[in-house]
Amino acid sequence: MTAAEWYRRFADTEAAGQSALYETLARGVADDPALLTLLDELPRPKQQPNLLLACARLLGAPLSDFAAWRVWLLQHWPEVSAEMRIRATQTNEPRRCATLLPALALIDGPIALIEVGASAGLTLLPEHYSYAWGEHRLDPAAGPSTVLLECEVTGDPPLPARMPEIVWRAGLDLNPLDVTAPDDRHWLETLIWPEQTARLERVRAAIAIAERERPRVVRGDAVDDLPALAAEAPTGVTLVIVTSAAIVYLMPEPRARLIEWLRASPARWVSNEGAGIVPRVQEALAGHPPRRPGGFALALDERPLAYAGAHGQTLDWLSLPAA
């Protein structure tokens, strides 16, 4: 896929209906030979549309129209490209817990939870949020949360009546974000697309919960450091490893090694990744196309359970027969 195709696909399947501005900007980049030539200077993973849009915004790009944004970007390309080289998109979306929780509900607890690619740890705290899957509501034991995760559901998911019992948890990330550090909070907030004010409020409320709960996120690599972290989990409980919008960032060789390790591990593996990211999930989904574009495939131990909105906004349960 060329950079132009990547930006066009981002506009069509990710930004469309979510951020009119980012849709316009991404489409503008896709049709702009000068910007595409600049992007070509960067290593392939750093050409990511969301990374360009967030770094430009972080450094003060005007968020009005493509023409003004383009002029600013051409003037500030050295700073923007330097920022893109050192940063990665670390969007931490608590609403993804609304699609992860029905998968966790299929696993016998108590649970020791590890999230690979945990960013700031907001998705490590599922039992601290309130949920509304259509009419089905679930609140923390202590009462409704300041974070309400609303998710539109189709199909017949086993919506949980109780929160999972999580007795131990840890995240792993190349660059854990610290919710108490102003710069990290600012980056987390900048990663939310401009018009998404409800999402911004939700993330701010989740950050306040994380400030209180302080989920542990260890600095380390998904492949090299996961075995040691998994070995820290208590025995006598079910170890569950979650990957959510994380495996996509691994190059093919480490990606294959991580998947091999997860497959061989006794841990249960909940994956919430693009539908083409985990090969066995992709194979099992053949003949079961998504109802909507741009979503993730939710799977347990590589068995597809559902298509999930990339930000947890929808859950289309599949009920595929067991392989």
Ligand X SMILES: C[S@@+](CC[C@H](N)C(=O)[O-])C[C@H]1O[C@@H](n2cnc3c(N)ncnc32)[C@H](O)[C@@H]1O
Q: Which residue is nearest to ligand X (CB)?
A: 117
Closest approach, Cβ 210 to ligand X, in A, equals: 12
Q: Smaller CB distance to ligand X: residue 38 or 125?
A: 125
Helix, strand, coil proportions of the chain in percent (round to 5)?
40, 20, 40
Sign of the Cα torsion 268, 142, 196, 176 reads negative
Closest-CA residue to 102 (of 136, 57, 135): 136
| Cβ atoms of 114 and 199 closer than 8 Å | no
Closest approach, Cβ 89 to ligand X, in A, equals: 5
**Which residues contact ligand X (rule: CB under 6 A)?**
88-93, 96, 115, 117-119, 123, 172-175, 221-222, 244-246, 249-250
Q: Smaller CB distance to ligand X: residue 96 or 199?
A: 96
Q: Smaller CB distance to ligand X: residue 35 or 170?
A: 170
Q: Smaller CB distance to ligand X: residue 3 or 245?
A: 245
Q: Smaller CB distance to ligand X: residue 10 or 69?
A: 10
Q: What is d(CA 319, CA 323) in angstroms, rounded to the nearest whole number?
A: 12
Both structure tokens of 245: 């919008």
Please state the three-class secondary structure of 3-40 as a single string.
Answer: HHHHHHHHHHHHHCCCCHHHHHHHHHHHCCHHHHHHHC
- Can you list the alpha helix ranges (DSSP code H) found in 191-246? 197-213, 226-232
Closest approach, Cβ 142 to ligand X, in A, equals: 23
Closest approach, Cβ 117 to ligand X, in A, equals: 3
Closest approach, Cβ 66 to ligand X, in A, equals: 25
